[in-house]
A and B are shown apart, each in its own frame.
Chain A
């Protein structure tokens, strides 16, 4: 029987049997890894818990049964700019919540797809639907962190979109008067 190694946040989870199906039960070995780098000896010293997990998936998340607890989780998956899958997790019926939790197969933390040496493109995006009132930068211009780059009107309020970090404007994707949707690229930068 093959096993399957996964990594969620700081948890290394080794599935003794591969979980399958809408409902089911599986055994898992869980180890909490520290964020600091460890050598083999230190890793071996970590405490491993072996658990029996029963699950049932539903439209918005999953319900799991552990010895002594039945818990439900709402999951919201999303991809970040670097292509990683991150999850926002809410434990149902509680205030417990986690944000941008990375998932990966294998036992190393989720890596970004980005390779070293490639210039990083940063996007300034519209955070809500609205209209562009003014564009305050031009392509080729250098901007400082926090410098206003676009003036936007949304929900009848004027909002300044500012540069999240210093860089050089590579492309301006909008014109004044244009209506934009949430998530639309406004200005692209290179660092």
Chain B
């Protein structure tokens, strides 16, 4: 008995290392679970990431190439060479980059490494959207009406669209994240839309094939988190609603889904469908089934993501499960599938991006200040703990901010406070003139969590275009206090170093030339120009 207890203790220092084939917040998040379980961690980094936080966080770090992803984080050869050099046994891909590349999984296996994720075969089967649809059809799970396979050209796409009816979506077979995706409202547009989407898809994924799908108007985007043991066993971990999107990318995610609270039968049907597919394909590890739910509670399978999702903290909040730990233990052969965990309360996550809050165009740049929220039931997943740079080579996400509360209204209140606490500022000169190009969507997120539709929970993927006030510029009519702050800032800037007071006739030229400075920041500003 005693012997057994001793052997059940994890051999903390004896575990083989995990290579984290990613960067940014997810690399740190994975490293945290590795450390908790006693797996040594190996980071990889590109030229641009030499001083990135994930490099410092891991036990060791290996340089893999130039800043462009294709030369470093996407370069299979170099990532594997790094794994070999570090003596890692496991490779965790995170999300994005190599996480859904079956050829990477095969290469890992060939190199004698354990890929933390599904097998190459399952990935091929579910990762390719066209193959996935065939599997789903075979199992009788309903999906959005559309072409069974890729369409060759605009003409063929037009024929299909005429059959299922406009509006339709053209989607990249290899894609995700809205790249290579086009909405087409009429026959006239389909040829040009096909060419543009195909070109974009070819550039982004190296594959220009597209398929056609009917566009469900005012849809809810709901996904089911599953975890499979690779032997035909699988459990679900509830759902996440991710209806609020801009540029086809999620910006707010929550669990449980408000629309499924109205249609509990649909929820059960979705869990059942997700598990039927997972068991059928003997899915191994964390995976997500994305569905569209319409206003009447009909659900349609959209696609499967064979990886950890960006928004997994939402599921972790409501289930109490550390998904990355499960992934690691499964890879180490120490995982026993438990019962479906009970889900408690409500969790909401928002994504703080370096982007323009009106146009949502990326606006990366240097950070001058970052203060993320704290307090009970608040979680910030970030790779920025001190001023650094949001690098334009990579995803411009700064942080994920998530909260938990027993009920949805309480969770929203908590999220409002968390966002109000958050500060992200660009570098500034002493007179508070902005240096560089950083903008964030913080002001947008603050408005979003106060929006009446978001409060009601009836959120659809077209929420942002339907609520133009979310993206209006803020008023230029300040409160008295704010006006005092600006006036003081200007006067103090201009009176610094002067012994005589300034009078009413202060000139414009004075304002344009604050006291000379030779700080590094002002040199950077001069080089890049302060432009907005």
Interface 1/0s, chain B 487-513, versus A by CB < 8 A? 111111001100001111011100110
B491 touches A59 (CB 8 A): no
A103 lies within 8 A of B490 (CB): yes
- Give Cα distance in the complex from A97 to B423, angstroms: 12
Mark contacts of A6-23 with chain B using CB atoms, 8 A cut-off: 1 yes-contact digit, 0 otherwise: 101111010101111110
Bound-state Cα–Cα, A157 to B435, Å: 26
Q: Given B419, B477, B491, which contacts A6 in the complex, CB threshold below 8 Å?
A: B491
Q: Which of the candidate stretches A37-45, A82-90, A165-173 sits at the interface with the other chain? A: A82-90
Q: How large is the interface on B (under 10, 10 to 19, 20 to 34, 35 or more residues)?
A: 35 or more
Interface hub of B368, B431, B443, B491 (most chain A Cβ within 10 A) = B491
Contacting pair A158 B492 (CB below 8 A) = no
Q: Is the CB of B432 within 8 A of A77?
A: yes
Chain A positions within 8 Å of B492 at CB level: 19-22, 55, 57
A12 to B37 Cα, complex, angstroms: 62
B375 at the A interface (CB under 8 A):
no
- A-contacting 9-mer, from B341-349, B359-367, B457-465: B359-367
Give CA–CA (A8, B488) in the complex, Å: 10
> Which residues in chain A, 84-106, are within 8 Å of chain B measured between CB atoms?
85-103, 105-106
User: Does any Cβ of A come within 8 Å of B452's Cβ?
Assistant: no
Number of A interface residues, CB 8 Å?
A: 79
Q: Known contacts A59-B368, A158-B196: does B532 contact A78 (CB below 8 Å)?
A: yes
Chain A residues positioned under 8 Å from B504 (CB to CB): 2-5, 105-106
B488 with A62: CB separation less than 8 A: yes
Name the A residues within 8 Å of B434 (CB-CB).
76-78
Q: For B528, what are the chain A residues with a Cβ–Cβ distance below 8 Å?
A: 181, 183
Chain B residue nearest to A127 (CB atoms) is: B361
**Per-residue interface assignment for chain B, residues 462 to 479, with 1 indicating a CB less than 8 Å from any chain A CB and 0 otherwise:** 000000000001111111
- The answer to whether B484 touches A98, judged by C-beta atoms less than 8 angstroms apart, is no
Known: A30-B484, A105-B506. A98 touches B363 (CB 8 A): no
Cβ of B426 within 8 Å of any chain A Cβ, yes or no, is: yes
Kindly supply a per-residue 1/0 record for chain B positions 160-181, scoring 1 wherever the CB is within 8 Å of any chain A CB and 0 otherwise: 0000000000000000001100
> B200 touching A157 by the CB < 8 A rule?
yes
Which one, B392, B446, B481, B506, contacts A64 given CB within 8 A?
B481
Q: Mark A124-135, 1 if CB is under 8 A from B, else 0.
A: 010111000000
CB distance from B98 to the nearest CB of A (A): 16
CB distance from A150 to the nearest CB of B (A): 14
CB <8 Å contact, A9 and B478: yes
Distance A75 CA – B482 CA, assembled complex (angstroms): 9
Instruction: Judge whether B179 and A156 touch: CB under 8 Å.
Output: yes
A70 to B333, CA, bound (A): 57
Residues of A within 8 A of B (CB): 1-6, 8-11, 13, 15, 17-22, 26, 28, 30, 32, 49, 51, 53, 55, 57, 59-62, 64, 66, 69, 71, 73-79, 83, 85-103, 105-106, 113, 125, 127-129, 153-159, 181-183
Q: List 16 A-B contacts (CB under 8 A).
A: A10-B477, A20-B492, A30-B484, A55-B488, A57-B492, A73-B482, A76-B426, A77-B431, A95-B446, A99-B473, A103-B490, A127-B361, A129-B392, A157-B200, A157-B247, A183-B531
